[in-house]
Chains A and B, each alone.
Chain A
Amino acid sequence: MIFVTVGTQLPFPRLIDAMDELAPQLGEKVIAQCGPEGNGWQNIEVHDNNTPEEFRAYMREARVVVAHAGIGTILTAKQLGIPLIIVPRRIAFDEHRNDHQLATARYAEKLPGIHVAWTVDDLGPLLRQPNLEPAQDTPGPSHPALVSRLRRFVDED
Chain B
Amino acid sequence: MTQKRILAIASGGGHWQQLMLMREAFEHQDVLYLTTLSGLPEQYDATPAKLVPDCNRNQKIATIKCAFIMLWRVLVFRPQMVISTGALPGVLALAFGKMVGAKTVWVDSVANAEEMSMSGMLARRFADLWMSQWEDVAKDAGAEFAGAVL
CB distance from A6 to the nearest CB of B (A): 13
Q: Does A93 contact B (CB under 8 A)?
A: no
Whether the pair A144, B147 counts as a contact (CB closer than 8 A) is yes
Cβ-neighbour of B149 out of A70, A76, A140, A151 (below 8 A): A140
Number of A-B contacts (CB under 8 A): 104
Give chain A residues whose Cβ lies under 8 Å from the Cβ of B13. Answer: 7-8, 72
- Say yes or no: is A121 at the interface (Cβ < 8 Å to chain B): no
- The listed residue (A103, A107, A148) touching B114 by CB distance below 8 A is A103
- In the complex the two chains form, what is the Cα distance from A98 to B55 in whole Å? 22
10 A-B pairs with C-beta separation under 8 A: A52-B40, A71-B17, A71-B110, A71-B111, A75-B18, A75-B21, A104-B150, A108-B150, A142-B146, A151-B26
Further 16 A-B residue pairs, CB within 8 A, beyond A75-B21, A100-B114, A154-B25: A52-B12, A52-B37, A52-B40, A53-B43, A71-B18, A72-B13, A72-B14, A75-B18, A103-B113, A104-B110, A111-B150, A140-B150, A142-B146, A142-B148, A145-B146, A146-B147
